[in-house]
Amino acid sequence: MPDDSVIDYDEYLSLPEVTISAFTETGIGESSIIIPLQRVFTSRKPVISSHLADTPCATLGTQGLLDKLNTTLGTSYRLYSLDNPFLSSFLDDCITNGYNFGMAYSCFCRIWYTNNWSTIQDKLCRQEKWDREKRQKALVGNWIVSVWLQP
């Protein structure tokens, strides 16, 4: 991904430590999960539950979507602000495009801590192009050749 869209991990230092586990997500005991890295995850890096990820943005509405992003990412952005006049239109696009919260979160988490909202549309487009190309390169025929692919 382009260098200017890399997350400043210092932003995460102020966030609380969060733990998400297979048991809380599925009700299945962690010892029953075959893949060790899927049993439990603890980090200051924001993480969302599968239930929240599956929530349609339309169900949340624009303000609700912003509230969930603010809570998850430890910010206090407002919908209509001179600091980020483009934010409401980006959130409205998530609803119009039928995104769920997981999709919206994946789009915004890399660019959320910006000082210049006027460049976000360009960054989102470049990020989408980069992601699409990476996914295309990960498959050769019906074979997955790159296992380090983010959801």
On the CB side of 70, CA atoms within 13 Å amount to 13
Residue 6's pLDDT band, with cuts at 50, 70 and 90, is very low
Please give the average per-residue pLDDT across 103-132, as a whole number. 84
pLDDT at 10: 67
CA-to-CA distance for 127 and 17, rounded, in angstroms?
27
pLDDT at 9: 58
Q: To which H or E segment does residue 90 belong?
A: helix 87-96
CA-to-CA distance for 17 and 143, rounded, in angstroms?
37
Q: Comparing C-alpha atoms, which of 62, 63, 45, 65 is closest to residue 53?
A: 65
Phi, psi of 138, rounded to the nearest 5 degrees: -75, -20
Q: What number of residues does the chain have?
A: 151
pLDDT tens-digit readout, 85-102: 788 888 999 999 999 999
